[in-house]
Amino acid sequence: MAGDKTVETTGLLGWIDRRFPLTTMFKEHMSEYYAPKNFNFWYFFGSLAMLVLVIQIVTGIFLVMSYKPDAKLAFESVEYIMREVPWGWLIRYMHSTGASMFFVVVYLHMLRGLFYGSYRKPRELVWIFGVAIFLCLMAEAFFGYLLPWGQMSYWGAQVIVNLFAAIPFIGPELAIWIRGDYVVSDATLNRFFAFHVIAIPLVLIGLVVAHIIALHEVGSNNPDGVEIKQGPKDRYGRPLDGIPFHPYYSVHDIVGVAGFLIIFAAIMFFAPEMGGYFLEYNNFIPADALKTPPHIAPVWYFTPFYSMLRATTADFTWVLVAGAVIAAAALFLKGNLKGIMRIAVPVVLLIVAVLFRAIDAKFWGVVAMGGAVVILFFLPWLDYSPVKSIRYRPTWHKYLYGIFIVNFLVLGYLGTQAPNPTFNLMSQIGTVIYLGFFFLMPVWSRLGTFKQVPDRVTFQAH
């Protein structure tokens, strides 16, 4: 019976169950965890993210066995892994390919949440944990990027750490504290190594566990946005629109895993550099503090946010001022904010608008880059749509999501290119579109004619 905690097992499993709730946990989170029966391919990416996490941890352990976190030996140790360690090239390429594929999977996983309203009540905490995981991944990737000690690793770290110097009052001292020196050096490499190998992975694993526990507490969302726990149930209290995660979705996910591993292997064996996007060519040159590369850019998964950083010039702050004023007016008049929030949010935006001209543009570039990620935490309280899923929203909402996706990809491409006036203008337009999408969401998400959401999930066997 669903919800029955009694476990009666014998032998070794019974011995374990009397001391550790193994069978009970399996039932609660697998065989008796009822998920909506209308999952589609978008629901592959959660399990794929878990798979890539395991790949990264296992390959990382083997790489650490031969890697030397020393400024004089780091680059040579990576070459040693590639050339001398048995199958070392395979482990290194699995790790480097896994880093990029991790972000591919996570971006698609978050996009599915955006499409189907997976951040809406009662899943706000699930979404917050997910965005925290995304932030941890960005930190993990940044710290790990320095470790090969190539030209792009060294100068990329130098540029990014120097961004902290733009923070008023404490910036210069903060940048020195992060580096452990006045320039990126052996001290920087050692502390980045410690964070990449120990600190961030521990936090990441904890957040993943919290994410899954929170998800299983409230139940999974589905493409219709219908809560199966609130729908009809059988005489045992099981939702009629749900099926056990195991064996149905555990087998279902194997299809996604097989397809993913084919793509993963194809990249790893035939194009591990992916034209310089996964592994930059400058990173095959040892770090040289006296020779700056002609164009310094982060890895592709950071480039949309890097574009926003570069787009924020002194002149562009006037556009941001105007945008903050318009957003404040729209939220006050049409935002449907309640109580103190109706006054507080516009006031904060107006204060920010004033500060735009009082503080250096470099600082606001850092704010725009960081704010583009941080604003995702507030998504559950920005969306005022009466329905969750994009299936039942007005057609023009779908076009808006399409513009947002294309804009994000364009920003990513622009971030890989050397700056020029045309690209800078495109980045500025893209930054306005990205920030406007979220800041004006309380207004546009309520507009239009919405379709009737069905009482039960729509499902066709396939």
pTM of the model: 0.92
Q: Is 29 annotated as a binding residue?
A: no
d(Cα 160, Cα 139) in Å, to the nearest integer? Answer: 12
Q: Which residues contact 70 (CB under 8 A, 6 or more apart)?
A: 186, 189
Q: DSSP states of 403-441 as a string?
A: HHHHHHHHHHHHHHSPP-HHHHHHHHHHHHHHHHHHHTH
Sign of CA pseudo-dihedral 450, 452, 455, 457: negative
Compute how many other C-beta atoms are within 10 angstroms of the C-beta atom of residue 86: 7
d(Cα 401, Cα 380) in Å, to the nearest integer? Answer: 16
d(Cα 56, Cα 271) in Å, to the nearest integer? Answer: 19
Phi, psi at residue 239, to the nearest 5°? -65, 135
What is the per-residue pLDDT for 7?
53
d(Cα 314, Cα 322) in Å, to the nearest integer? Answer: 14
Residues in a beta bridge with 35? 243
d(Cα 445, Cα 219) in Å, to the nearest integer? Answer: 24
The candidate with the shortest Cα–Cα distance to 48, out of 129, 109, 123, 125, is: 109
What is the per-residue pLDDT for 334?
66
d(Cα 157, Cα 142) in Å, to the nearest integer? Answer: 8
What is the per-residue pLDDT for 356?
67
Q: Is 196 annotated as a binding residue?
A: yes
d(Cα 94, Cα 102) in Å, to the nearest integer? Answer: 11
CATH of domain 22-236+244-284: 1.20.810.10
Pick out the chain residues at pLDDT < 50: 1-3
CATH of domain 300-444: 1.20.810.10
Domains 22-236+244-284 and 300-444 fall in the same CATH topology: yes
* 117 Ramachandran zone, left/alpha/beta (phi>0; psi -120 to 50): left
Domain layout of the chain by residue ranges: 22-236+244-284, 300-444
What is the per-residue pLDDT for 237?
85
Q: Is 211 annotated as a binding residue?
A: yes
pLDDT digits (tens, 9 = 90+) for 113-127: 999 999 999 999 999
pLDDT digits (tens, 9 = 90+) for 181-194: 998 999 999 999 99
- Core vs surface per residue 142-155: b (16+ CB within 10 A) or e: bbbbbbbbbbbbbb
Pairing mode, if any, of strands 242-244 and 34-36? antiparallel
Prior bond of 380 cis (ω within 30°): no
What is the per-residue pLDDT for 286?
94
Q: Is 462 annotated as a binding residue?
A: no
